[in-house]
Structure 1
Amino acid sequence: MHSDSNGVPVTVLSGGLGAGKTTLLNHLLRTVDDRDLAVLVNDMGDVNVDAELVAEGSDLDVEGGVAELSNGCICCELRDDLETAVVRLAREREFDHLLVEASGISEPEPVARLFTTSSRVAASYDLDALVTVLDTRLFLDTFAGEDVPERRGRRDSADDDADDTRPLSDLLIEQLEVANLVVLNKTDLCEPAELEEAEALVRALRPEAETIRTEFSAVDPDRLLGVGLFDPGRMAEAAGWQRALADDGAESDPVHGHGGDRGHGGHDDHHRHRHPDEVYGVDSFVYRARRPFHPERFAAVLRDLPDGIVRSKGVAWIAGRDVKVDVAQAGPSVRASVRGPWIAALPEVRRDLYRSNRPDLEWHDEHGDRRTELVFIGTDTREARLRSALEDCLVTDAEWERADALENPFPDEEEEAVALREP
């Protein structure tokens, strides 16, 4: 092991199935001649074909510089195996840079956290960058086209339970929203105007990410390795929807927080919107309310979102559910899950303790922290129409009084998730 006190730099490669991650990996192994690379490859199949392909394209052998993790995803059930593998590599071999290729259904954020939170791993490694490879044509067809490919991934290939089936659009967005660098691959299949639109969408979803256009994953290694783009302090707050919420909140009344309550619902009169990339037709807006949604009307709106909306994310206050309902839409997929209880719903002692530790927590005299905050990002959000539809989803006084009796498709337990719309 080299004596570099900062540890060996690590690049995590993620992206959808067939996007070109292994092609990129082989390209790096063929073209990098100024540093020794170690590679860890994860594949969901019974036989790890990718690792063999990588080994064929390099001077390394599968038992040496290329470590395999098969039959699972390195972000979840094989996390312990990943930790063991990288620690063993650091102990047994000398190299200058580690490349981790995640499978097409892996989320990069948990992998990144291993390199920043595990004392065994952090002692030997420094995370350099999270790189997401996009099939640009598929990315546009999925999020900016009229015909949505019905492509799905599985968390557990051995389990045929339909609840474990998840649209790849969800994973693609999650891989993109944590990326430091985005490789727009297969650009030869796109027109110049489409490439501009793809870059605009990337900027809206991940404002700080750098982008590189490639064909057949051919990129200068110096643009990917040793770039020092990863910042652990910003990993959880730099997605486009998080930026939109933060920017929108910063523009509100500095004394009263957000606009005053209005109407019978007490919902915020605060409807500012953001334009991440107006020149390419990509914009966003934030919707806030201090009155709960009627569950069935709100679910109907989510199922019928305009095709131009690429990403929706945030917390919703649902009548009949005294928990924070997390709404996550990625192209054709809409899912709802429980983020946790409202602070206002906690027993008084716990509630007061939490509030004393969070003096900046926005608090309504009647509703506490209960509220809706949703961000919508897309190429055609149809903002006025969607705002009107969301306003119509808010419960009336009569509906609020019998909220527990309303039909409710939204989850009420933390381990539960509901697919409201799928490809």
Structure 2
Amino acid sequence: MTENPRVPLVLVSGLAPGPNSTLADLLRQDGPGTAVVHHDLRQITSGVVRRRVQFGKRDQLTALELAHGCVSCTLREDLLPLLRRLAREPGVKRIIVRLDEAMEPEPVSWALQHVLVGDRTVSEDVDLRAVLTVLDCATWLADATGDETLAERGMQASPEDERTVAQVALSQVEFADLLVLAGTAGDAWTAAKGAAVLDRVAPSIPRVELSMVDARTVLAAVPADARRGEVTDMHGPLLRGQPPLHPDCGVALLTFTSQRPFHPERLHDAIDVLLDGVVRTRGRAWVASQPDIGFWIESAGGGLGIGHAGPWLAAPDGPAWADVSPERRTMASLRWDPEFGDRAQEIVVVTDQATPEEVEAALQGALLTDEELAAGAEVWLTYPDPFGEWHEEPCDDTELDPAKHDANASNRKDESQ
């Protein structure tokens, strides 16, 4: 018996509800057979999510009550089962999921591929064809470089959500297959600076203007080699594409690398430099007091995420070479050290008010000195370690993405600004 083909799926993300809705409507009007799903999380802290499903003449609004109000519960308890039902509904030829403004597309993509609904994942029923992120040109740059939290804007995705608006704005852009620009910037400087930021955080992602496209031209603009929901390997390349290396509108790119470990306390102190005058930080760190685990560091808008990126290949419990991506094997081979293996620092920083030189100086100062390096690994294990304890969220979302969960577990906002 021939199995039914998977139904094409498109995710629409972005911070601005109006342009997001416009793009979703545009895609729905491209002939019959397109269903649009939207979960409104504005009341999620009270345990209520409003779901809207549009298909043909159906326009159904449902209030869902959740035991614990969070994005993870919304995914597990409603969105994933709903997608599986829609994919099997006669007449449904394509599904558009318009994500809530506070949702990042990467954990949704991970859930499609890994969370079981019944005896199978939803990716066996749907085929993720594109992740489209909509940018409101009038507000996006301020969102991506500001320090406002989702809570301050009334956009929390759970009662414990401490993310900044900038963290969400940049995550949505970095995971996109196509950026859809809506409206215009307030002035030429804002437009130029916004483009400079995008050139450095998403250099390989094409951009189209919402006012100049229809459904077919939008989807046709998605590159053939787009990631289409491929989840980030935290030990893989930090940049997709080739960003400009020269400063533009005060925006510059720094790639910090080193093959000696950080001192845990000095790294903890140096991290503050990543919260002031920095647009984005993403990367892996090797901390002397925890030599077998790569740390993942991510910051934006005064919000900081620090978590475990999994073991190094050279760690006693590290993965087998055959079990990791070709890109990771290649990078490890190029920098392999006879004593420390693939352990290394690799952090990409996009600066604005700060300069690459001061950020690099702070990170260099956090590395072990020659004397400390010579003392050996047994001494490093005795260093006081402010990264030794990890916060756990009340809602266990390890069914979604343990790595991403850890990476956001230590989010904090710099209150000194």
Q: Is the TM value for this pair above 0.5?
A: yes
Could you tell me which of 251, 255, 263 is aligned with 1:286? Answer: 255
CA contact (8 A) 2:238 2:282 kept: no
1:226-249 Cα offsets, whole Å, 9 max, x none, are: 65547457834699x9354997xx
User: Aligned AA for 1:410?
Assistant: F
Change (3 A) 1:19 1:406: farther
Equivalence for 2:181: 184
- Alpha-carbon separation, structure 2, partners of 1:244 and 1:304: 21
Equivalence for 1:142: 143
- The DSSP-based 3-state class of the residue aligned with 2:274 is coil
Change (3 A) 1:77 1:36: closer
1:311-345 Cα offsets, whole Å, 9 max, x none, are: 11111112322221111112321221112233444
Matched, 1:223 2:217: yes
Larger Rg: 1
CA-atom RMSD in angstroms? 3.9
- Alpha-carbon separation, structure 1, partners of 2:282 and 2:196: 19
User: Aligned AA for 1:211?
Assistant: R
Matched, 1:107 2:104: yes
- The DSSP-based 3-state class of the residue aligned with 2:163 is strand
Matched, 1:342 2:338: no
- Alpha-carbon separation, structure 2, partners of 1:183 and 1:302: 33
Could you tell me which of 408, 413, 416 is aligned with 2:385? Answer: 408
Equivalence for 1:127: 128
CA contact (8 A) 1:137 1:190 kept: yes
Matched, 1:195 2:183: no
TM superposition shift of 1:178: 0.9
CA contact (8 A) 1:16 1:134 kept: yes
- The DSSP-based 3-state class of the residue aligned with 1:92 is coil
Could you tell me which of 186, 196, 201 is aligned with 1:205? Answer: 201
Change (3 A) 1:127 1:233: closer
User: Aligned AA for 1:318?
Assistant: V
- Alpha-carbon separation, structure 1, partners of 2:280 and 2:343: 23
Change (3 A) 1:127 1:244: closer
Matches within 5 A, 1:33-182: 34-44=31-41, 45=43, 51=52, 60-63=57-60, 71=66, 77-79=74-76, 81-113=78-110, 121-144=122-145, 148-152=147-151, 153-157=155-159, 161=160, 164-182=161-179
- Alpha-carbon separation, structure 2, partners of 1:131 and 1:150: 23
- The DSSP-based 3-state class of the residue aligned with 1:34 is coil
User: Aligned AA for 1:22?
Assistant: S
Equivalence for 1:366: 339
Report the TM-score, using the length of structure 1 for normalisation: 0.72
Structure 2, gaps ≥5 residues long: 391-402
- The DSSP-based 3-state class of the residue aligned with 2:244 is strand
Report the TM-score, using the length of structure 2 for normalisation: 0.73
CA contact (8 A) 2:162 2:412 kept: no
1:333-380 Cα offsets, whole Å, 9 max, x none, are: 12211122334441xxx56x8358777534212222222111112346
- The DSSP-based 3-state class of the residue aligned with 1:88 is helix
Equivalence for 1:418: 410
- Alpha-carbon separation, structure 1, partners of 2:227 and 2:306: 27
CA contact (8 A) 1:40 1:67 kept: no
- Alpha-carbon separation, structure 2, partners of 1:11 and 1:356: 32
CA contact (8 A) 2:238 2:283 kept: no
TM superposition shift of 1:38: 0.7
Equivalence for 2:320: 354
User: Aligned AA for 1:313?
Assistant: R
TM superposition shift of 1:94: 0.6
1:165-196 Cα offsets, whole Å, 9 max, x none, are: 22232222222111011223342x52133223
Equivalence for 1:235: 230
CA contact (8 A) 1:41 1:102 kept: yes
Equivalence for 1:304: 273
- Alpha-carbon separation, structure 2, partners of 1:79 and 1:68: 16
- Alpha-carbon separation, structure 2, partners of 1:184 and 1:386: 31
CA contact (8 A) 2:270 2:363 kept: yes
Structure 1, gaps ≥5 residues long: 248-273
Identity %: 26
CA contact (8 A) 1:207 1:238 kept: no
- The DSSP-based 3-state class of the residue aligned with 2:295 is strand
- Between Structure 1 and Structure 2, how many residues are aligned? 372
Change (3 A) 1:73 1:180: farther
Could you tell me which of 286, 295, 298 is aligned with 1:328? Answer: 298
User: Aligned AA for 2:300?
Assistant: A
User: Aligned AA for 2:345?
Assistant: T
Matched, 1:25 2:21: no
